[in-house]
Amino acid sequence: MSPPAASRGELRGLAGLFLTLGIIGFGGPAAHIAMMRKEVVHRRGWLSDPEFLDLLGATNLIPGPNSTEMAMHVGSVRAGRAGLIVAGLSFIAPAALVVGALAALYVRYGSTPQANWLLYGIKPVIIAIVLQALWALGRSALRTPRLVAIAVAVFALYLAGLNELFLLAAAGVVGLFLVRAAVLPVLSMLLLSVPAAPVGFSLLKMFLLFVKTGAVLYGSGYVLLAFLRGDFVARLGWLTDQQLLDAVAIGQFTPGPVLTTATFVGYLLAGLPGAALATLGIFLPGFIFVALSHPVIPRLRRSRTAAAVLDGVNAASLGLMAGVTLQLGRTAVVDVWTALLAAAAVAVVARTTVNSAWLIGAGAAAGLLLRLLGV
């Protein structure tokens, strides 16, 4: 997986793929990663399933938006540092533009638009894409009964409410002991902090707060809500609780990375300059973390000790992905029509290599048709 020198054709291919995924990427990180796997492993053959799993495991160990960082890793494999930047920016840009436009409408009209009719048909299709990815990745990652046991245990413990980072770390330790390694590597992380400043808005202070958040954030959009509320509502008073909830809602139902919630908040605080700086701030740490960690991944796989840890983390990653899929499925398959949509999508992804964009588009059209018919 050593990164090659970038060519214009490779960079255009990365930009085209991740712009498309950024536009159709509903459903959160688990769905994004499933779509990426379908495109870069199954359709294009840029990576094998074991290579994809190693990138996924490494991504889960660093803070920041997992699916965006996976895009960066794929870009780095394909076209080096230039590919990392192109893939990451291409995946972020559509969501940032959509959220920025919605923020402008929100400021003008004071409410968030609804997209229930769109998501009604899209969500069941996303479930099918994620299930197919879980099945394929599971066959590569869960090579022994012990790794299967790790994945099942993490799945159950995640649903019971245990922290994702704790589960990943514990799985890595278990994987290490399964090969009776003598040395346990200890990983540490630098947490960026911003000193308290006097009340009063400034673009620089806002930018640094988003850099801090991007550098320490693990988990879902709801974890992001806790970070942003502590800084922007409780400490500084720059936002109201309602504005923050609306920002997170926009990030949840628009395609692409949920962290483009920052774009919405930045626009509310300072218009276009605020939106641009907030987006840059929250995603910048991810680019740095991926650039630093990507060259280490092949060396981890060559080390028997580190490979055991990575095997455990990979199994745990699939357990977490399965847990998220179950939670998403509860909100996606709500009646007989969505169940039929999900079943049809499962059949399609299992038998064809159709582009994810067509599947998402078909799901949206089916959802709209069913709503128009009133069924």
pLDDT tens-digit map of 225-260: 667 877 888 788 888 877 876 776 676 667 778 788
Mind listing the pLDDT tens digit for each residue in 257-299?
A: 878 889 989 998 888 899 999 999 999 998 998 888 888 777 7
Structure tokens at 69: 């960082």
Q: How many CB atoms are closer than 10 A to CB 19?
A: 17
Q: Report pLDDT for 187.
A: 31
Structure tokens at 281: 């701030």
pLDDT score of 97 more than 80: yes
Cα 219 versus chain centre, distance: 9
Q: How many CB atoms are closer than 10 A to CB 140?
A: 16
| Residues 265 and 278 sit within 8 Å (Cβ to Cβ) | yes
Q: What is the mean pLDDT of the chain?
A: 77
| Residues 346 and 136 sit within 8 Å (Cβ to Cβ) | no
Q: What's this model's pTM, rounded to 2 decimal places?
A: 0.65
Q: How many CB atoms are closer than 10 A to CB 152?
A: 15
Q: Report pLDDT for 3.
A: 46
Q: How many CB atoms are closer than 10 A to CB 293?
A: 18
CA dihedral 300, 304, 309, 313 (to 10 degrees): 70
Q: Report pLDDT for 194.
A: 36
Helix crossing, 261-293 with 203-216: angle to 10°? 50
Q: Report pLDDT for 56.
A: 83
Maximal CA-CA distance, the chain: 64
Helix crossing, 8-24 with 29-37: angle to 10°? 140
pLDDT score of 58 more than 60: yes
Q: Report the C-alpha gap between 45 and 25 in whole angstroms.
A: 20
| Residue among 110, 91, 113 nearest 250 (CA) | 113
